[in-house]
Amino acid sequence: MGFEPIDSEDRKLIEAAWDVLQRNYHPERHSVGAAVLCPNGRIYRGVNVEACGYGPCAEPIAIGAAITSGERTFLAIVAVHREQDGYRVLSPCGNCRQLLVDYAPDAFVIFSENGTVLKARARDLLPGAYNSRFGVRREN
């Protein structure tokens, strides 16, 4: 598994996630923002949706927005959480890691490891991933 340092394009994606969170922040309902980058340069955003007991994370919301707009390939994704003095880049939860392996195994995931922001391919963040029937399918 190879972790890589982030670059200026990654920082733009982080800022896009922070922007959507700032515009939609609610401490009990929307505390995480995500952004996904597609090959055409478009960035799709999403926030988590809290409900009684459970709600979707921000990453599937952002991926869903991209898919709804016709996107099928993803280059990178990041999620951020609001902190008292700004934001913190998050590592994806297990459910999100599986979703990323299913929909974007080759996409870079920007995450935090021991306080350092890094990136790695989605497939490398979930070794031995379940091979679901929802995995990426190649069109003929």
Q: Please list the residues that pair with 77 across neighbouring strands.
A: 36, 109
59 flagged as catalytic:
yes
Residue with tokens 């099928």: 72
State the Cα–Cα distance between residues 45 and 21, nearest whole angstrom: 9
Sign of the C-alpha dihedral computed for residues 88, 44, 121 and 130 taken in this order: positive
Does residue 9 contact residue 24 with C-beta atoms inside 8 Å? no
Which of 4, 15, 59, 113 is flagged as catalytic?
Answer: 59
- The span from the CA of 140 to the CA of 131, in Å, is 21
Q: What amino acid positions are annotated as catalytic residues?
A: 59
